[in-house]
Structure 1
Amino acid sequence: MESRSYEYDVIVYGGNAAGIMAGVQAVRMGLRTIVLEPGVRLGGLTTGGLGATDAGDPAAIGGLSQEFYERLARAYGRPGLVWRFEPKAALNVLEDIMAEYGLTAVTKARLLEHGGVDKQDNRIRSITLESGEVYSGKVFIDATYEGDLMARAGVAYIVGREGNEVYGEANNGIRRLAKLEPRIDPYRVPGDPQSGLLARVNPNPGGKPGDGDGKTQAYNYRMCLTDDPDNRLPIEKPADYREEDYEILFRLLEQGYTGPFFKLTMMPNRKTDSNNTGMFSTDYIGMSHAFAEAGYAQREELMKRHETYQKGLVWTLQHHPRVPEAIRSQYAPWGLPRDEFAESGHWPSQLYVRESRRMLGERVVTEHTVNGSEFVGDPVGLGSYAMDSHYTQYCLDEEGDVCVEGGFFVSVQAPFAISYKAIVPKRSECGNLLVPICLSSTHAAYGSIRMEPVFMVLGQSAGAAAALAAASGGAVQDVDYTELRSILDRDGQILDLGEGYVTPPGTTGNPL
C-alpha cells in the first residue's frame, strides 16, 4: 500500500464534540487543521445517544459549547438552549458548525496500533494511521476518550483509582460497600459455596476503603429507544446471549424487586436517552477494567460484549419467563429507532467510556480543586457537576452478602476552575501535545469534569492554545496565558463567575 503524507498546523486525534470544538477554534484562528476520528461517526457521546445532557450549572458553560446548545434550540424551533435532543439532531448541528467554519474531519482514521507515533526531540512529528496515511503537524491534540495518542507519545498517565492518601482526598480509592437490596444468594448453585460465585462477583473488594486500585467505573451504551410503532425496530435476542449475566437480576426479581431497570428519559419525537439506574441496569459492572490498556481487537470484543449485554437485558425484560409478566408488558413497547445510527445497525457505535487513562500532567486537578480550596490562576474552563462515579464491581462483604462498590455522588457548591496546566503534559515528556479529555485529574475530580459540555469547553481552549503554540513554534507549556485568556474571553468562554458565586439549588444534575 502506497502511503500518502499530509501536513497541517494542528492535528486533532478524536472527532467527538470536544475534538470538533478544538478544531473549529484552531481554524477560526487561521491554522490549517484537521480532525481524525478513529470510529465511523463524528460527535462521540454527544451524537451517540447521550441526549440528556447534564451541564451542572449552565452559567459555567460558554463559548462554542454554549453555541452548540443554542443551535440545537434553533433546530427545534425553541428559544434559549436545548439540553435534551436526538442523536441525529446533534450530528446535524455539529456538521453545520464544521461546514460554516471550514473544518475538515475524517472518519475511520485510526492510529496505527504499533509504531503509529513518530516522536523526535520531545515533540510529535507525525502520526501514521492504519490506512498508511501519515499526518505531520506542529501541534497535536488528543481528544479521544481513551488517551491513545497521549499514551503512545510516552506521556505519563494513570488508570484506575488513586488511594486517598496520594493527594489527601476523601472520595478516591475503594468505597464503602453497598449491599444489594433485597439480599440474594451469591453462589451459582444457591447455598453451595463449592459451586462458585455468580458471574462478575468478586470474593472481596480487593482492599480497604480508600485504597487505590486499577479498576475503572462501569461503562455502558446510552441507548436511544422509541415506542413509536412506525419508527421502531425490535431488539432481538443476541446470538451470543449469556444467561449467566442476568442471574443477579433474576434473583432480585424472585425476591420481589420491581426496578427500575433503565431510565426512559424522553427526548423529542418519542425517543429516549436510556441510561443506567437502580440495583441492576445497563452498566456492565466489572467489564471496564481492561479497556483502557487493551489493544484494538480486545476493545472491539469488549464493546461487542457490552452491546450484547444491553441488548440482552432489554430482550430479557421483554421476553424471559423468569421476568414477571407485568414487567415484560412494561418494557415491551420499546425498540430501536429506524432513523438513528444507520451506519451501525441502529445501535450507537460510541461506548460510554466514562473514564479511561488520566494524564499525570503539569498540574493534577483534585477534589480540593473541586471544593474550591485550591487557587487556580490559569483557568481554561469551569466544572460544576457533582463528583460522580458509577459502580466499579460486584463483590462480597465480610458477611458474605453481594454488594456493589465504587459509586459516589458528591455535590459541588460552586463552579471550579480547571487549570491550563491540567491539559498539558509535563515539559520533559512532550512539548506539542494537549489533552482536554484524558486530562490530569484524580478519579474523584474527574467524576465532575467528565461531562460533554465541559469537554467541549476544554476542547475549544485546547484549540486556542494549540493555535498559539503552532504560530510561535514554541512548546505548549510556554503558551502565554495572558494572551490565551484574552482570546478565550473574546470568544465567549466562561472562566470566572465572580467571588462568592454559588450554584443555584437543583442544578447539580443527576448521576450520569
Structure 2
Amino acid sequence: MDRRNFIRLSSLGTLITGSGIAASCVYKNANSEGENFADIAVIGGTPAGIMAAIAAARMGSKVILTEYHSHLGGMTTSGLGKSDIENKEAIAGLFKEFTEKVLQYYTGKYGENSKEVLLCKEGYYYEPSVAELVFNQMIAEEKNIKVLFNYQIEEAEMKSEKISRLRFKDRTSGDTRFLKAEVFVDATYEGDVFALAGAVYRLGREGKEEFNEAHAGHIFFDFNEKAFLEGGSGEEDSRLPAYTYRLCMTDDPANSYVLTEPPHGYDRNNYVEYFNDLKDGRLSAPKVFKEGHGYYSDHFDTMVRVFSFTEIPNRKYDVNINPRPLGFPFVGENYAYPETDWAARERIFKRHRELTLGLIYFVQNDPEIPEEHRNLAMKYHLPKDEFTDNEHFPWQLYIREARRLKGMYTLTENDVTLREDAQRTTVFEDTIITGEFPIDSFPVSKVPSKDNKVLEGYIGMYEISPYQIPYRILVPEKVLGLIVPVAASTTHVAYSTVRMEPLWMGIGQVAGIAAHMSRELQVEIKDVPVLELQNILIKNHQILTYFKDIDRADKAFDAVQFWGTKGFFDSYLARTQEHLSTEDCKLWLGIFEEITNNPEITIDAELNNNGQVVSISVLQKTLQTMNKSDGKNLQPESWLYEKRALKSNVLRGEACMAMYQLYQETELAKDKNT
C-alpha cells in the first residue's frame, strides 16, 4: 500500500485505557454572585453544541449548555429544513438518532403512508418547529443537562493557559453571570470562546501558496462547468463568504403571513441588478438538475429564481437565497461580524433581516417585475406557525464562516480531495468522523468574473470524495481545557465542506465524549487517548471510515471502521468477503504491531513462504504469539463469518475482526498490568 497518504499522530499523548481516575460530578445552580458550576460547559446551542451536551451527559458528566438566543438548534431550527448531506451512509451517530426521531414524529402524527412522511425523506427533511421539538425532547431526556438561554458571552478568565471561568451577560435581566467547569466546549459558530481565551485563529481566506490548495484565495469558479475562470489571483484576504437568513415559506394561504407593506429599511436599489440576471439568463435552469437542491422548473427564468426552494412537510419549503446571480446583495455585509461587539452584531442581524424581507417584498411587489413573476412569488409567504415569537422570521443568521481555530492540525483541501493517483483521501490515525459534502463557498466579493458568469469567491458544490477528519483539528495549540467542534482548525476551502450541520452534529458528539474523557481521566484535551475515543465512537455508531461495499449488517463492520483509520485500506472498498493475501496480512500485522507497541509478534513460517492467501490456522497461530494475551478468547468461532475447517482461507473481514478483538484484549491486559 502506498502510505504517502497516511498521516500519523503527533503530540497527542500516549494510550490510556480503562476507566482511569473518575472525577467527582459537580452541578450547582448559580450562587449569590451569579456563578454556575458544572463538570462540562458547552457554549453555543448549535446542533453541534446540543450533541456535545447529550454525548457528555450520557457518559455521566453534569453539563450546562448556554445559548445566546431563546431557542436551541442554530440553523437546523432556523430554516435550514433539509440536511446538507449527499451520502447518508457517511454520517451516523447522534445525527442519525435525530433523523430517526424526526421520522418518528411525522409517522406518529400523520401515519406511515402519509405525504408528510414521504416529504420528510426518512427524517432528513423537516419543519423548523419540528427540528426544535426533537432537539428539546432529546435534551429533556438527559437529566444531566441544564440549559441557560439568553446568555451572551463577554469574557474568558484564564489561569496558566487554562480557562478558569467564563463571564456572560444575561440578556433577559442584564445581570452578569459566571460559569465554571472542568472542561469547556466552544460550539459557537463564531469561535467566541477560543478567541476570548487567547487561542490563535484564522480569519478570511488563505492564499493558494500557503497550503498549495487549488481553490484557495481570490478565485473565479464556473459552478456549471466546475472549472476555473480567468481573473483569479489566488491571493489571501480577510473577506468572508456571505451570510444570509435561511427562510421557511409556505404555499398554504391559511397559514401565510403576507408582507403587505415594505419592511423597515426597504430600498429597491438593493435588488435592481437582478433585472440584468434575468435578462442575461443567470436565473435560468441549472446545467445539472439534482433532486432536493431547490430546483423547480416553474421558477426558471422568473424573478422567483433569486430563491431556491426545497419542499418539506406540511406545504412548506426550505428557502435558500440563490448565490449565483450577480445581483446577490448580501456580499460584504458580514465582513466586520466576527470581531465586532454584540451591539454591532445585532445591527448586522438587523441589516440582513431587512435585506431578506426586502427581497421578498421586491419580488412580490415591484412594478418593474413582470406580473406573472409577481403572481408566482405571491404564492409563497412566511408561515404563521413558525417562529411565532419573532414575527415568523428565523432568529439565527446563517454564519457560514467566521473565525477558524489554529489547532494542532489544519485540515486542507488536499486532505478532503483525492491526491494524484490515490484511491482514497488522506487517512488519519486519529480520525473521529467522516465528512462527505461538496466544497461549497458562498460569494466573497461583489466583483463578477470577466464573462459575468459568477461573483468572486463562489465555489458551488464542487464534488469531492468522503474524507476523514482528525481529532487534532478540535484541539487548540495552547489553550487548555477547551475543545472546538464547530469553528475547527481548517483552511477556508476545507471549511467550505466541513461547515454542514449533520457533520457538525457528529463532531459535537466527539467533543462531548472527549470532554468527558478528559475530566474522567484527568488529562488535558490534547492528551485524550484517541484509540479509546475511537472505540467509544464506534460503539456509538459513528462512521470513522467510509466504504462503498460494507454496511452495518456485516459482522466485521466495527473492526473495519477501526482499522480503516490505521492504514489497512487504500481505497473505498473493504472487500471483506475476499481472501486475505499474504501481502496485506503482513502490512496489517505491521500496523497492528506499531499501534500496540509490541515488537514480539512471531509471524508463522507458512506466512513467510509468501503464499498468495492466508489460512485461518496460520493467522490464528501468528496472532496468538502476542505475549500480552493468552489468546484464550481468540478462538476462530468468535471472528469467523461461519464455522469451517482451519485450513480454509481466511477472509479479509475475518482478519479485521480477529485483529480488532486481539487489540482489545491486548490493551485490557496492559491496563491490568498498570
TM range (shorter): 0.7 to 0.9
Superimposed CA distance per residue, residues 458-502 of structure 1 (whole angstroms, 9 cap, x where no aligned partner): 000000000011122321001011111111111111111344327
Give the aligned partner of residue 305 of structure 1. 351
- Greater mean deviation of Cα atoms: 319-328 or 448-457: 319-328
Structure-2 separation of matches of 1:413 and 1:94? 30
CA contact (8 A) 1:27 1:33 kept: yes
Establish whether residue 501 from structure 1 lines up as the match of residue 545 from structure 2. Answer: no
Find 2:164's aligned residue among 125, 138, 141: 125
Give the aligned partner of residue 619 of structure 2. none
**How much does 1:9 deviate?**
0.8
Give the aligned partner of residue 369 of structure 1. 415
Structure-1 separation of matches of 2:428 and 2:453? 42
CA contact (8 A) 2:186 2:483 kept: yes
Establish whether residue 109 from structure 1 lines up as the match of residue 151 from structure 2. Answer: yes
CA contact (8 A) 1:161 1:443 kept: yes
Number of equivalences:
472
Give the aligned partner of residue 172 of structure 1. 216
**Higher relative contact order (Cα pairs below 8 Å, separated by 6+ residues):** 1
CA contact (8 A) 1:394 1:402 kept: no
Give the aligned partner of residue 240 of structure 1. 265
- Greater mean deviation of Cα atoms: 299-308 or 390-399: 390-399
Structure-2 separation of matches of 1:60 and 1:398? 38
CA contact (8 A) 2:271 2:329 kept: no
**How much does 1:280 deviate?**
5.3
Give the aligned partner of residue 344 of structure 1. 390
**How much does 1:81 deviate?**
3.0
Cα distance change on mapping 1:178 and 1:461 into 2, 3 Å: closer
Cα distance change on mapping 1:402 and 1:365 into 2, 3 Å: closer
Unaligned runs of 5+ in 1: 180-204, 504-512
Structure-2 separation of matches of 1:109 and 1:336? 28
Structure-2 separation of matches of 1:419 and 1:353? 23
Give the aligned partner of residue 465 of structure 1. 514
Give the aligned partner of residue 32 of structure 1. 62
Establish whether residue 88 from structure 1 lines up as the match of residue 129 from structure 2. Answer: yes
Give the aligned partner of residue 196 of structure 1. none
Give the aligned partner of residue 441 of structure 1. 490
Cα distance change on mapping 1:252 and 1:367 into 2, 3 Å: closer
Structure-2 separation of matches of 1:483 and 1:397? 50
Find 2:103's aligned residue among 73, 88, 94: 73
The code of the aligned residue for 2:402 comes to S
- Greater mean deviation of Cα atoms: 417-426 or 230-239: 230-239
Find 1:385's aligned residue among 437, 441, 446: 437
**TM-score, length-scaled by structure 1:** 0.88
Classify the secondary structure of the residue corresponding to 1:265. strand
Classify the secondary structure of the residue corresponding to 2:248. coil
Structure-1 separation of matches of 2:453 and 2:415? 34
Give the aligned partner of residue 51 of structure 1. 81
Find 2:465's aligned residue among 414, 436, 439: 414
The code of the aligned residue for 1:344 comes to N
Structure-1 separation of matches of 2:573 and 2:242? 31
Classify the secondary structure of the residue corresponding to 1:3. coil
Establish whether residue 272 from structure 1 lines up as the match of residue 314 from structure 2. Answer: no
**How much does 1:321 deviate?**
1.1
**How much does 1:93 deviate?**
0.6
Cα distance change on mapping 1:47 and 1:289 into 2, 3 Å: same
**How much does 1:291 deviate?**
1.3
Structure-2 separation of matches of 1:19 and 1:209? 37
Superimposed CA distance per residue, residues 192-223 of structure 1 (whole angstroms, 9 cap, x where no aligned partner): xxxxxxxxxxxxx9x95211111111111111
Structure-1 separation of matches of 2:62 and 2:279? 61
The structure that is helix-richer by fraction is 2
Superimposed CA distance per residue, residues 225-256 of structure 1 (whole angstroms, 9 cap, x where no aligned partner): 11211111112411211222112124444667
The code of the aligned residue for 1:86 comes to E
**How much does 1:410 deviate?**
5.5
CA contact (8 A) 1:220 1:283 kept: no
Establish whether residue 318 from structure 1 lines up as the match of residue 370 from structure 2. Answer: no
- 1:147-186, aligned counterparts within 5 Å? 147-176=191-220
CA contact (8 A) 1:383 1:417 kept: yes
Unaligned runs of 5+ in 2: 1-30, 171-175, 224-228, 284-300, 418-423, 548-568, 575-674
Classify the secondary structure of the residue corresponding to 1:158. strand
Structure-2 separation of matches of 1:408 and 1:89? 31
Structure-2 separation of matches of 1:218 and 1:332? 26
**How much does 1:374 deviate?**
2.9
Cα distance change on mapping 1:435 and 1:323 into 2, 3 Å: same
**How much does 1:373 deviate?**
4.5
CA contact (8 A) 1:390 1:407 kept: yes
The code of the aligned residue for 2:122 comes to L
CA contact (8 A) 1:119 1:126 kept: yes
CA contact (8 A) 1:370 1:412 kept: no
**How much does 1:391 deviate?**
1.1
Establish whether residue 98 from structure 1 lines up as the match of residue 139 from structure 2. Answer: yes
Cα distance change on mapping 1:2 and 1:461 into 2, 3 Å: same
CA contact (8 A) 2:241 2:457 kept: yes
Give the aligned partner of residue 200 of structure 1. none
Establish whether residue 330 from structure 1 lines up as the match of residue 330 from structure 2. Answer: no
Structure-1 separation of matches of 2:78 and 2:124? 15
CA contact (8 A) 1:231 1:338 kept: yes
**How much does 1:283 deviate?**
6.3
The code of the aligned residue for 1:15 comes to G
Cα distance change on mapping 1:396 and 1:494 into 2, 3 Å: closer
Cα distance change on mapping 1:283 and 1:20 into 2, 3 Å: farther
Cα distance change on mapping 1:394 and 1:470 into 2, 3 Å: same
Structure-2 separation of matches of 1:340 and 1:281? 29
**TM-score, length-scaled by structure 2:** 0.67
Structure-2 separation of matches of 1:459 and 1:328? 43
Cα distance change on mapping 1:448 and 1:254 into 2, 3 Å: closer
CA contact (8 A) 2:326 2:446 kept: no
Find 1:430's aligned residue among 479, 482, 489: 479
